[in-house]
Copies of this chain bind each other. A is one copy, B any other.
């Protein structure tokens, strides 16, 4: 008898998380209203607090769930960063609500990213470092600089970047071109055979 009850509870939690995604993506943490979430989810407001603790914890649960989707859908691959950045670009373009949640999180709070050990930024940085040490990725840039550049570039034409769509209002229409450019840029910065010399004597006005 316990199982159907759990399933109903799970379905309610799903509806709450979906309604909360919508509410927080639109209004952020301070602006988000638990009673609107309750209404949209067809759930009792006090039930939301029972399940999730507080509005802040509900936001955290929403963010965590969507970030987990990223790591499941786009597994990190230090051995093929040009391909990885392309897949991450696709994911970012396809998930505007997640990008808004990420932005609100940055502005209103500084939750540690809810990441497990295999998907944490520091693990990814270590993997890039290892690929550099093994000579498979150019080591002109520090590995954490490379990871920042990759994630930043992948989301440059979403709401997570205040400049991208201002500079390129037609970014969505040029998605295929942008994807190639993003991937090529990362290829150029990580190619083993172009390192060191590539960043030298630039200002010499090469023609």
Contacts and interface: CB of A to CB of B under 8 A. Distances in A.
Contacts of A164: 148, 152
- Dominant secondary structure at the A interface: helix
Contact of A141 (B83, B184, B193, B205): B184
Interface string A151-194: 11101110111111011100000000110010011011111111
Contacts of A102: 162-163
Quickly give the copy total for this chain: 2
Contact of A191 (B82, B113, B198): B198
A47 interface: no
Contact of A156 (B112, B141, B149): B149
Given A145-B178, A168-B148, A191-B198, A207 B163 contact: no
A112 B145 CA distance: 31
A12 B66 CA distance: 46
A151 B136 contact: no
A100 B107 CA distance: 8
A71 to B, nearest CB: 14
A52 B9 CA distance: 51
Interface of A: 28, 30-31, 80, 82-83, 100, 102-107, 112-113, 121, 125, 135-136, 140-142, 144-145, 147-149, 151-153, 155-157, 159-164, 166-168, 177-178, 181, 184-185, 187-194, 198-199, 202-203, 205-207
